[in-house]
Structure 1
Amino acid sequence: MPISAVIVDDEPLARRELQYLLERVGDVDVVAEASNGIEAVKIIRNAAPDVVFLDVQMPGLDGFAVLKKLLDAQAMRPDAEESMPEVVFATAFDQYAVRAFEVNAIDYLLKPFEERRVRQAIEKVRARQLANAPSNVQTSIETVPQASSEERLESLLKLLELQAGGAPQQAGVARVPAKTRSGKVVVRSGQRLLLVDQHDVSFASIEEGAISVVTPQIEGLANCRTIEELAEQVDADSFWRAHRSYLVNIAHIKEVVPWFKSTYLLRMDDRKHTEIPVARAQIKRLRELFNL
């Protein structure tokens, strides 16, 4: 039986290239494509494919946010028959992120795609299908128990969230030297492109694909596609990924507000005194920062 696949990428050329290579590999049926994360969530839930080839860097919902929404939906329907598909990341990320994928036993394809790697990815999907098949159909291949797709994806998301919050280096994951940073953030305000000193930035947030940058005096749009891209431009010791949708400047936190069920809000020093939620995975980091 052919493997059913969904391709998610905001670049049409990348989708066509990957579909062409999957056709060359053979025995793979591309049942749908998505050009953004919001569309991807709906398509994946409706198509229930065996595997998703998922672009990491997309405007709006990036690849990791897509997984989070799918996993959250799965958790709300524990009795549903459909399970999470296997995921193959399509990425231009550096070797540090690639090693993170390897640690979590999830395959990846570096752009530009290579037929050899696409073929290997499909072989891994087949192997996992056999490993998860009922014992009466495991005839020709001896398999060992493997973590479910949900467990592996949850593990990856937790690792990435810890990394974003400045957690200690994971064993077996090599760091690469930080890129040279200018210390400035480009902010579009009206028809102007402002060069804002990063230390003046209170926080940045993402909503519907737009990255907003807020200082005590101004607010505008960043010249970035993702929060991750913006985080690479600023000082990792000063900025903290308190929540998947927010990157905050620690020096501009005015107040830590206890919230419900042992969670917290950060009240910032901008004109609106914006309140930012702290992700549960980041509460330990919050307590370390302020000795709570």
Structure 2
Amino acid sequence: MNTLKAIIVDDEPLALKLLRSKLNKFSELEIIAECKNGREAIQATMDLAPDIIFLDIQMPGIDGFGVIKKLQTDVVPMVVFTTAFEQYALDAFDVHAVDYILKPIDEDHIKRAVERALIRFNSGDNTDNKNRIIGAIDSINERENVDIRFPLDPEVADSQTSSTSGIVERKVVIKDRDDITLLKQSEIEWIDAAGDYVCLHADGVTHIKRSTLKSLLKELDPNIFKRVHRSTIVNLNFIQKVIPHTKGEFFLKLGEYDQVKVSRNYRDVIKSFLTDM
């Protein structure tokens, strides 16, 4: 019988204790770590490679969604959110095959979540987890979307120039609900693909854009943006440290909490960069 390695995350000690006691009833689960905030959850996931994470959505600092956004796609395990969200949000999770447990903790939902996870794990359908979650988040956002009266043409945004230097400032246009963000390419630290979406990480914030990595790559400055994984692009200017890993792979430390794995197929890109410095 396969045993799922699990991490549980909640900022409320009593909620964490209750969740642990409920999950300990399942012999198919082994809790390998408990985290009280999003930062701990990110680090534990990177260090321990769990099969599943039971993750509170509403936490101070980095919330549950923020944890998933900050993790590289290939690192994201199966996720079960613990939540008190409205029903429309729960429907979005169902549609995208992402499970949830209602607060106060519901015994039937715990049983359903564990059973679903075991089925997915044993069938090998435990990939594309980040894609599923980003899809659910986008579905929630669409339901809350407010029509924009004067939408901005991306081509116009990309052609904008700096008022002080006259030099073209390359930007990426991101639409989120009723907001449009013009993100300077020079401020983007790394980009992660999640199916039909990309997650752009800049200054501690993760922006979601509906686009493929291949399509976005054509817009980026090739001098500073390099692919280091089949699903990941990094801005070379933000590399702080190179950390050796197993089997010829290594991690790039890009910020206080961001680490990106470089696959063997792309390690020469970073070696070349380090040699030229």
TM interval, shorter chain, is: 0.5 to 0.7
How far has the Cα of 1:129 moved from its partner?
1.6
The alignment partner of 1:25 has SS state of: coil
The alignment status of 1:127 with 2:119, answered yes or no, reads yes
Give 1:263's match in structure 2, choosing from 173, 183, 193: 173
The alignment partner of 2:89 has SS state of: helix
Distance 2:137 2:88 in 1: 11
List runs of 5+ in structure 2 lacking aligned partners.
Answer: 159-168, 175-179, 183-204, 212-277
Superposed CA offset, 1:1-49 (max 9, x none): 4321100111111110010001123332111011111111001111111
Relative to the length of structure 1, the TM-score reads 0.50
Q: Structure 1 3/149 Cα, relative in aligned 2: closer, same or farther at 3 Å?
A: same
The alignment status of 1:65 with 2:66, answered yes or no, reads yes
In the TM superposition, 1:192-271 aligns within 5 A as 237=146, 257-258=157-158, 259-260=169-170, 262-263=172-173
Tell me the equivalent position of 1:110.
102
Conserved 8 A contact 2:69-2:206:
no
Superposed CA offset, 1:257-292 (max 9, x none): 53526537858xxxxxxxx9975339xxxxxxxxxx
How far has the Cα of 1:159 moved from its partner?
4.2
In the TM superposition, 1:75-90 aligns within 5 A as 83-90=75-82
Tell me the equivalent position of 2:133.
156
Q: Structure 1 45/279 Cα, relative in aligned 2: closer, same or farther at 3 Å?
A: closer
Distance 1:263 1:46 in 2: 34
Conserved 8 A contact 1:158-1:281:
no
Superposed CA offset, 1:142-165 (max 9, x none): xxxx4x432x4314314423643x
- What amino acid does structure 1 have at the position aligned with 2:116? K
Tell me the equivalent position of 1:35.
36
Tell me the equivalent position of 1:210.
none
Tell me the equivalent position of 1:226.
none
Identity %: 35
- What amino acid does structure 1 have at the position aligned with 2:37? N
Coordinate RMSD, CA, aligned: 3.2
Q: Structure 1 149/56 Cα, relative in aligned 2: closer, same or farther at 3 Å?
A: farther
Q: Structure 1 279/131 Cα, relative in aligned 2: closer, same or farther at 3 Å?
A: closer
Q: Structure 1 21/266 Cα, relative in aligned 2: closer, same or farther at 3 Å?
A: closer
Tell me the equivalent position of 1:21.
22
Relative to the length of structure 2, the TM-score reads 0.53
Tell me the equivalent position of 2:46.
45
Distance 2:96 2:35 in 1: 25
- What amino acid does structure 2 have at the position aligned with 1:28? L
Conserved 8 A contact 1:8-1:40:
yes
Distance 2:119 2:82 in 1: 20
Q: Structure 1 28/281 Cα, relative in aligned 2: closer, same or farther at 3 Å?
A: same
The alignment partner of 1:109 has SS state of: strand
- What amino acid does structure 2 have at the position aligned with 1:280? K
Distance 2:81 2:207 in 1: 27
Distance 2:139 2:99 in 1: 20
Distance 2:28 2:95 in 1: 28
The alignment partner of 1:119 has SS state of: helix
Superposed CA offset, 1:183-239 (max 9, x none): xxxxxxxxxxxxxxxxxxxxxxxxxxxxxxxxxxxxxxxxxxxxxxxx9xxxx648x
Q: After the TM superposition, which segments of 4 or more aligned residues of structure 1 sit over 6 Å from their partners?
A: none
Q: Which has the larger radius of gyration?
A: 1
Q: Structure 1 260/163 Cα, relative in aligned 2: closer, same or farther at 3 Å?
A: farther
Superposed CA offset, 1:102-132 (max 9, x none): 0001111001112332122112111112101
Q: Structure 1 121/280 Cα, relative in aligned 2: closer, same or farther at 3 Å?
A: closer
Distance 2:41 2:104 in 1: 21
Conserved 8 A contact 1:266-1:277:
no
The alignment partner of 1:61 has SS state of: coil
How far has the Cα of 1:86 moved from its partner?
1.0
Tell me the equivalent position of 1:246.
none
Conserved 8 A contact 2:157-2:171:
no
- What amino acid does structure 2 have at the position aligned with 1:149? T
